[in-house]
Amino acid sequence: MSILVVGSVAFDTVETPFGRAEKVLGGSASFFSVAAPFFVPVNLVGVVGDDFGDKEMQAFAGRPIDTSGLERMQGKTFHWQGKYSYDLNARDTICTDLNVFEFFKPKIPQSYRQSEFVFLGNIDPVLQLDVLEQVQKPKVVACDTMNFWIKGKPDELRRTLSKVDVLLLNDAELRELSGEWNVVKAARVVQKMGPRTLIVKKGEHGVLMFGEDSSFAAPAYPLEAVFDPTGAGDTFGGGFLGYLAAAESVSDDALRRAVIMGSTLASFCVEAFSLDRLLRLTRKEIDDRYRLFKRLTHFEDI
């Protein structure tokens, strides 16, 4: 069982009230690719420029991450610069240099095409659909998106969503996509577009999952030191889909455990800049924090 992930591989320049990191490894596919292999192997598809060197590749080395689908193009790697204030749930984008990412046309290597789990990172919905046309009958397609596509390519996004099983987005995006303010009603509207499972990411307020017949609410783990939230959503995606793929199940119970696993991985991601914390994370630390989530949310029946 392996996962195909398609998304951005980038350099991030990030400023938070706690420090600054200059051109460190980032991008949706990077965070996902480092999180998911705690559970299953990952097949990575993305594009980088000729400034992406051995040092950066090191993050993917020694882990079950196949990087043969990571294309190299002449030019510079995608660069994003952002700034967070104390309210880490909100951020300002200072600049977005697409560079080689502007010309990204995902080419799925032959050896990846039978991946049974697919994660479509937040890229143009036309490219997301194009990826799905290159793979053979995936068991689960999970997809991330953002307001830029919801507003800019609504019809294209609808076509992609009709082929998606699990949609991950934040509460503002859910409201925009559905045209409904109330989150429960909004979820029903979006589920009719295709995804039978909807995961609403609320940052420090946790996650709401809407399934076919059941809802699930998970808090974020209350941390004393949140250092940099960049990548938390994609790290959640990696933990979530990685766990599901390893469980080989999409039952309601497995989806719930996967949400907690995603939240667990994300809670580590935010403890340091870039992938730093994830790269020195152990499976034991993951399992211990999963159990802390259990304790955090447990209450007895009346």
Chain positions contacting its own copies, by CB under 8 A: 86-87, 181-185, 202, 204-206, 208, 214-219, 222-226, 253, 256-257, 259-261, 287, 290-291, 294-302
Q: Degrees (nearest 5) of the Cα angle 156, 162, 164?
A: 105
Instruction: Supply the minimum distance, in Å, between the C-beta of residue 157 and its own copies.
Output: 23
Taking the least distance from each CB to its own copies, the nearer of 86 and 137 is 86
Taking the least distance from each CB to its own copies, the nearer of 95 and 299 is 299
Instruction: Supply the minimum distance, in Å, between the C-beta of residue 291 and its own copies.
Output: 7
Taking the least distance from each CB to its own copies, the nearer of 9 and 260 is 260
Taking the least distance from each CB to its own copies, the nearer of 79 and 277 is 277
Taking the least distance from each CB to its own copies, the nearer of 58 and 297 is 297
Taking the least distance from each CB to its own copies, the nearer of 128 and 263 is 263
Instruction: Supply the minimum distance, in Å, between the C-beta of residue 290 and its own copies.
Output: 6
Instruction: Supply the minimum distance, in Å, between the C-beta of residue 16 and its own copies.
Output: 12
Instruction: Supply the minimum distance, in Å, between the C-beta of residue 274 and its own copies.
Output: 21
Instruction: Supply the minimum distance, in Å, between the C-beta of residue 206 and its own copies.
Output: 7
